[in-house]
Structure 1
Amino acid sequence: MQCSSLVKALKEYAIFGVVSIHVGPESDNLPKSIDKLADYGFRGDTLFLVVSAFTMSISLSGKPLDGRSYFIKRSLRLETMYILAIILYGIFGLIPTALPIDYILNAFLMHGISPPAQNTVVPGGWSVASEALFYILLPALLPICNTIVEAVIGLGLAYVIAVVSHFGLR
C-alpha cells in the first residue's frame, strides 16, 4: 500500500470514528458489538490529528517556510467556521456558563491553554484548540525534531508542558 493510500484510509477511519461517537449514543437498540465499536469513536479525532501531523510534517520538511502565508492559511481554515459557531452559540444562548474571557480565548483560538475555556463557548471546541496549538507549534518543532530520538524528547517535553498547563491553569 502506498503512503498516500494509507493516509487516505487512516483519515477515513478517523472520520468514521468521529461520526460513530456522535451518532452511536443517539441510536437505540444497536447490537452490542456495534455499540461498543461506537464507544471508541472518540479516538477518531486523535487519529485525524496524528495523520494531519504526519502529512504536514512531510509536506513542510526540507522547505523554507513562509510563516505569514502558513499562518494566514491555517487561521482562515479554522477561524471562519469557528467564529460563526461562537456567534451562533452566543446569540442563541446555548452555552450559558461561558465567561467573557472564554469568548476572547475562543475567538483568538487560544482556548487550548485554558482547560475551562475549551468547551464552554462551542461544544467540542477542544478539538479546534488542539489543532490551533498544533499549527502554532509545528514550525518551531520541525527544525529540532529530525531524528527519532529528537522526536521522543520533543514528545516528552510536550507531555510535561501539557501536564503543567492542565494543572497549573486551573
Structure 2
Amino acid sequence: MQHRAPARPSLPASSGARSGRDRLPSLTGLRFWAALAVVAYHLSRQLGPLPVISDLAWYGRSGVTFFFVLSGFVLAWTYDGARVPAKAFLWRRFARIWPLLALTTAASVAVWAALGRAVPAKAVAASLLLVHAWVPDPVVLKGGNPAAWSLSDEAWFYLLFPALMALPLLRTSRARRRTAVLAAAGAVLVWLSGALLTDPAVRGWALDYFPLTRTLHFLLGVATGLAVRHGWRPRLGVGPAVALVACWHLLLIPWHHAVPDGLWYGPYAASQLLAAPLFALLVSAAAHADLTGRRTGLAGRLSLRLGHWSFAWYLIHEIVIRLCLAHYGEPAGLPATAALWTLALTVSLALAALAYHCAEHPLERRLRTLGPRPPTRRPRPSTRRPDEVDASALPGRPGGATLPGKS
C-alpha cells in the first residue's frame, strides 16, 4: 500500500557521490560519539574513573538508547514507501549484524576460556540466535559477548518493523505525532513501574534489557524518521540539540551523588529510559541539516570512517578491556588509569577498523548477494509536476522500492 508524500527537499549536489549508508552522513558521524559514550562508560566502571570524563560518561550506556532511536529513524526514513518484501528486508538486516556478532562472540568465548572461565553452551546458542535479551538470566544474557545483548533487541525490532510500517497509526502527521508522544510517555511510565519491581535483578533486566521495554525507543525513532521524511522539520538545530543532550548528562551528576543507582528512582535506569526524546531531536536535527546542505561538523571523512567502525568497536571494546584487566590488573593512581584507558581505546579501535574492513563490510556485501532481493520493476511514466522531487533520489532510498513486507 502506498501513500503520496509531500515534496521533500533534494540533497545538495555534493552528496550524490556518497554510498547508500552515508547519504545522511551526520548520522554516521553521530554513531561514533554514541559508541564512544558506551566505551567510556565501560572504561570508567571497569578500569577506573578519570576526572571529568568519567563524570560525564558514568551513564554513557544511554548511547545504546541512542542507537535504538537511530535504528528506528534510519529504517523508517529509508524504507518509507519502499516495495521491499519482508524476507528481503530481514535478510539485509541479518547480513548487517549477524556475521560480526558471530565473530565477536567466538572471540569473547575464546578470551573467557583463556582466562579460565567456561561459557555455557546455552549462553552461546542464545547469543547466536539473538534471543538472549529475552531471558532474565545473567549467564545467558551476558555469557557470550556481554555487549551484544542489544542485538537481541534489534533483531526484535527488525521483525516488528514491516508490521509497523503497514499500520495506520504512522500514515498521517497527526498519527505520527501521537505515536511519538505516546512512545516518550510510555518510557516514563516504564521507568516509574520500577517502583513495583522489588527484586533489583528483575528490575534491571526488565527496564534495561527486555526487548518489549526498549521497543518504545525504536518506535519513537520510527515515528520521528517518518515525520522528517514527510516534511516535518525540527525547530532546533544540531548545536542546541547537542547542548540539550549534554545538559541531560550534566544533570545526572548531582543525581548520582544524591540517589544510589540501586534504587528504582536512581539515575541509572532513568539515564537510559528518559533520554530518548532528546536523542530523537538530535537525530532529526542532524538529518535535516544534511538534507539542506548545512555543515554539522559530523560529516567529514574521519567522522564517516569512525562511524563505520563504531558497530565493531561497540562489540569488541569490552573484550579488550577484559584482556587489559587480566594482564595488567586494576590500575592504581591516575597515571596508570590514563595509560590503561589509552591502551584499551587504541587497541579496541584498531581491531574495530580491522574487523570492519576485513569481515563486517565484505561479509555483509557477500551475504546480500546470496539472499532474496527486492523485485526489479520497470519505471512507470512520470506523473509528477515539474516542481516535485523524485523520492527515489533522496538519500537512503533504494531506487524503485516501496513498503517493506509488500511485494
- Category of TM-score, reference length = shorter chain: 0.7 to 0.9
Counterparts of 2:48 and 2:122, CA distance in 1: 39
Q: 1:10-47: CA deviations, max 9, x gaps?
A: 4343133123223334666722x222012121111211
What residue is the counterpart of 1:59 in the other structure? 78
Counterparts of 1:29 and 1:59, CA distance in 2: 39
What residue identity is the alignment partner of 1:11?
R
Q: 1:5 to 1:124 in 2, by over 3 A?
A: closer
SS at match of 2:59: helix
Tell me the matched-pair count.
161
Q: Contact 1:61–1:142 (CA<8 Å) still a contact in 2?
A: yes
Q: 1:154 to 1:143 in 2, by over 3 A?
A: farther
Q: 1:84 to 1:58 in 2, by over 3 A?
A: same
Instruction: Pick the aligned partner of 1:22 from 12, 34, 42.
Output: 42
Instruction: State the shift of 1:74 in Å.
Output: 1.0
Instruction: Pick the aligned partner of 1:46 from 40, 54, 65.
Output: 65
Higher relative contact order (CA closer than 8 Å, sequence separation 6+): 2
Counterparts of 1:86 and 1:7, CA distance in 2: 27
The 5 Å alignment of 1:97-136 reads 98=120, 100-116=121-137, 117-136=140-159
What residue identity is the alignment partner of 2:124?
Y
Counterparts of 1:52 and 1:89, CA distance in 2: 25
Q: 1:85 to 1:34 in 2, by over 3 A?
A: closer
Q: Contact 1:10–1:47 (CA<8 Å) still a contact in 2?
A: no
The 5 Å alignment of 1:70-85 reads 70-85=89-104
Instruction: Pick the aligned partner of 2:118 from 89, 92, 96.
Output: 96
Instruction: State the shift of 1:57 in Å.
Output: 0.9
Instruction: State the shift of 1:75 in Å.
Output: 0.9
Q: 1:153 to 1:142 in 2, by over 3 A?
A: farther
Counterparts of 1:29 and 1:90, CA distance in 2: 27
Q: Contact 1:21–1:40 (CA<8 Å) still a contact in 2?
A: yes
What residue identity is the alignment partner of 1:16?
L
Q: 1:124 to 1:12 in 2, by over 3 A?
A: closer
Instruction: State the shift of 1:101 in Å.
Output: 2.8
Q: Contact 2:109–2:119 (CA<8 Å) still a contact in 1?
A: no
What residue identity is the alignment partner of 1:137?
L
Q: 1:109-159: CA deviations, max 9, x gaps?
A: 122222322212212121221222222211122222402334556775xx6
Q: Contact 2:108–2:144 (CA<8 Å) still a contact in 1?
A: yes
What residue is the counterpart of 1:137 in the other structure? 160
What residue identity is the alignment partner of 1:23?
L
What residue identity is the alignment partner of 1:15?
A
Q: Compare CA radii of gyration and give the structure with the larger one.
A: 2
Give the aligned CA root-mean-square deviation in angstroms. 3.4
Q: 1:86 to 1:34 in 2, by over 3 A?
A: closer
Counterparts of 1:29 and 1:105, CA distance in 2: 32
Counterparts of 1:49 and 1:150, CA distance in 2: 16
Instruction: Pick the aligned partner of 2:178 from 146, 149, 161.
Output: 149
Q: Contact 1:21–1:39 (CA<8 Å) still a contact in 2?
A: yes
Counterparts of 2:109 and 2:155, CA distance in 1: 21
Identity of aligned residues (%): 25
Q: Contact 1:118–1:129 (CA<8 Å) still a contact in 2?
A: no
Q: Contact 1:109–1:132 (CA<8 Å) still a contact in 2?
A: yes
Q: 1:85-111: CA deviations, max 9, x gaps?
A: 33333445265353x332222221122
